[in-house]
Amino acid sequence: MKSRVLQILEDLIRIESVNPHFDQQASGEGEIVRYIERFCREAGLSAARQPVFPGRDNVLIELKTGHPDRVLLFEAHMDTVSLGSMPDPLVPVMSGDRLYGRGACDTKASLAAMLSAFEYLVHQQDSLSCDLVLCASVDEEHAYRGLMAFLEFDLPISGAVVGEPTNLELVVAHKGCVRFAVETHGKAAHSSVPHQGDNAIKQMCKVIDYFSRIVEPKLSASVHPLCGSPTISVGIIQGGSQINIVPERCRIEVDRRIIPGEDPERVMEEIGNELQTNLSPLGVSLQTRELLLDWALNTPIDSEIVLSAQRAAEQLSLNCVPSGATYGSDASKLQALKGIPSIVLGPGSIHQAHSVEEWVSMKEVELAEKLYIRLAQQFGKRS
């Protein structure tokens, strides 16, 4: 017989919840919200909406057990990336130990495991030494506005578990990012007399060359023991209007991954100053513009949430050694903005997230439900 948590995950996969940032025709998270509300009514759980965008709401589920001074947060996002070329992305398909579908890995598996855990714990409240809150959030795949809206409540949260694909490894540190645009400015001219213009694409070549020759080697020399080195990647380039005109503008968008210990605002400021200082003398006219700043995660391994997760993992004979990740999550905002000790923990591998064959291990999903239950029961108890 199919387990309860896999039934929930199949239900979630069938619901299209593509973030409208990726597709203006996408449905967003609305139908998932309605599903969670029905689920909570049937399970005897309290659920409330928090508006974030028109028609796009966070869902907050509270399980109060008489410990308002000790609150454990579970958080997972409801939105997915675009359906892309994935065959039958909204049809859950089981093959061996794999369950395929858009969002199966990132991160409806974590959400299903959390919902199933709460459904179980509502009848086991005597086993808890903390109050529980589950935030099913919107917009993580774009600009994490759902989590930022949730933080406005300023709840007395003692620890947080963020569901993302970690193969059930306990992630205590991960990278953040600084995303920015660089625009070079030249002078248009007819392509038959290019010397009368100033080619903005040629200027941009100097910017990209500077990143490759100077910035990348410097970044590779700095290493975090769990997250590796900072990186920089040019993801988008746009320039010129037609082939017979010397381009007067060129623009790139750049992703600079930061490691724990780096401040995103300072990194952004340093990038702008460094480009001006080193490239202006070479005749490069440029402007930089911030697109997105995100913090790195660096949770102390002796914090209560880490120790509770380790005890829970040991009980299930799972790996309990703290680890790091190269991607980011909502956990870093919880830590950076509110000082909430946070971990990232969930079924699936980041290598399957967003892929054309997105899938998650069904065994890991079932273990995730048990792990979340044990973690909730451990949190707040004296070891």
CATH of the domain at 222: 3.30.70.360
12 assigned to some structural domain:
yes
Q: Within this chain, do residues 331 and 370 fall inside the same structural domain, yes or no? A: yes
Q: Within this chain, do residues 168 and 34 fall inside the same structural domain, yes or no? A: yes
Q: Which residue(s) pair with 258 in the sheet?
A: 176
What is the structure's pLDDT at 25? 84
Q: Within this chain, do residues 32 and 129 fall inside the same structural domain, yes or no? A: yes
258 assigned to some structural domain:
yes
Q: CA–CA distance from 336 to each of 106, 295, 333 (Å)?
A: 23, 7, 5
Q: Within this chain, do residues 98 and 245 fall inside the same structural domain, yes or no? A: no
By percentage, how much of the chain surpasses pLDDT 90? 96
Other residues' Cβ atoms within 10 Å of the Cβ of residue 66: 9
From 252, 273, 294, the end of a domain falls on 294
With a cut of 70, say whether residue 174 has pLDDT above it.
Answer: yes
Q: Within this chain, do residues 227 and 268 fall inside the same structural domain, yes or no? A: yes
Question: Does residue 189 contact residue 235 with C-beta atoms inside 8 Å?
Answer: no
What is the structure's pLDDT at 154? 87
pLDDT in tens, 107-160: 999 999 999 999 999 999 999 999 999 999 999 999 999 999 999 998 899 999
Rounded Cα–Cα distance for residues 252 and 235 (Å): 7
The angle at the Cα of 119, spanning 115 to 121, to the nearest 5 degrees, equals 115
Q: Within this chain, do residues 226 and 307 fall inside the same structural domain, yes or no? A: no
Q: Within this chain, do residues 213 and 286 fall inside the same structural domain, yes or no? A: yes
From 277, 294, 311, the end of a domain falls on 294
pLDDT in tens, 321-360: 999 999 999 999 999 999 999 999 999 999 999 999 999 9
Q: Within this chain, do residues 90 and 183 fall inside the same structural domain, yes or no? A: no
Other residues' Cβ atoms within 10 Å of the Cβ of residue 311: 17
- Looking from the CA of 148 toward its CB, the CA atoms found within 13 Å total 11
103 assigned to some structural domain:
yes
Domains contained in the chain, number: 2
Cis peptide before 107 (omega within 30 of 0): yes
Rounded Cα–Cα distance for residues 247 and 186 (Å): 7
With a cut of 80, say whether residue 382 has pLDDT above it.
Answer: no
Rounded Cα–Cα distance for residues 190 and 214 (Å): 34
pLDDT in tens, 241-259: 999 999 999 999 999 999 9
Q: Within this chain, do residues 107 and 231 fall inside the same structural domain, yes or no? A: no
Give the mean pLDDT of 176-184: 98
With a cut of 90, say whether residue 27 has pLDDT above it.
Answer: no
Q: Which residues of 180-193 are buried (b: 16+ CB within 10 A; e: fewer)?
A: bebbbebebbeeee
Contacts with 210 (C-beta within 8 Å, 6 or more apart), sequence order: 275, 278, 279
pLDDT in tens, 351-361: 999 999 999 99
Could you tell me the sign of the dihedral formed by the alpha carbons of 153, 159, 161, 162, in that order?
positive
pLDDT band at 240 (very low <50, low <70, confident <90, very high): very high
CATH number at residue 83: 3.40.630.10
Q: Which residue(s) pair with 187 in the sheet?
A: 198
Q: Within this chain, do residues 225 and 148 fall inside the same structural domain, yes or no? A: no
Rounded Cα–Cα distance for residues 368 and 138 (Å): 22
Give the mean pLDDT of 270-279: 98
* Whole-prediction pTM: 0.93
Instruction: Please give the residue range of the domain that contains residue 287.
Output: 176-294
pLDDT band at 84 (very low <50, low <70, confident <90, very high): confident
Q: Which residue(s) pair with 342 in the sheet?
A: 160
Contacts with 140 (C-beta within 8 Å, 6 or more apart), sequence order: 77, 79, 107, 146, 147, 329, 330
Rounded Cα–Cα distance for residues 209 and 217 (Å): 12
From 260, 294, 328, the end of a domain falls on 294
Map 314-355 to HEC letters: HHCCCCCCCEEECCCCCHHHHHHHHCCCEEECCCCCCCCCCC
Rounded Cα–Cα distance for residues 9 and 12 (Å): 5
Helix, strand, coil percentages (3-state) for the chain, rounded to 5, are 35, 25, 40
pLDDT in tens, 35-78: 999 999 999 999 999 999 999 999 999 999 999 999 999 999 99
What is the structure's pLDDT at 383? 56
Rounded Cα–Cα distance for residues 20 and 52 (Å): 13
Q: Within this chain, do residues 182 and 237 fall inside the same structural domain, yes or no? A: yes
Rounded Cα–Cα distance for residues 83 and 355 (Å): 10
383 assigned to some structural domain:
no
What's the whole-number average pLDDT of the chain? 96
Q: Residue 179: which H helix or E strand, with range?
A: strand 176-185
DSSP assignment of 105-120 equals: IIIIHHHHHHHHHHHH
Q: Within this chain, do residues 67 and 153 fall inside the same structural domain, yes or no? A: yes
Q: CA–CA distance from 102 to each of 11, 74, 146, 166, 330 (Å)?
A: 12, 22, 20, 17, 20
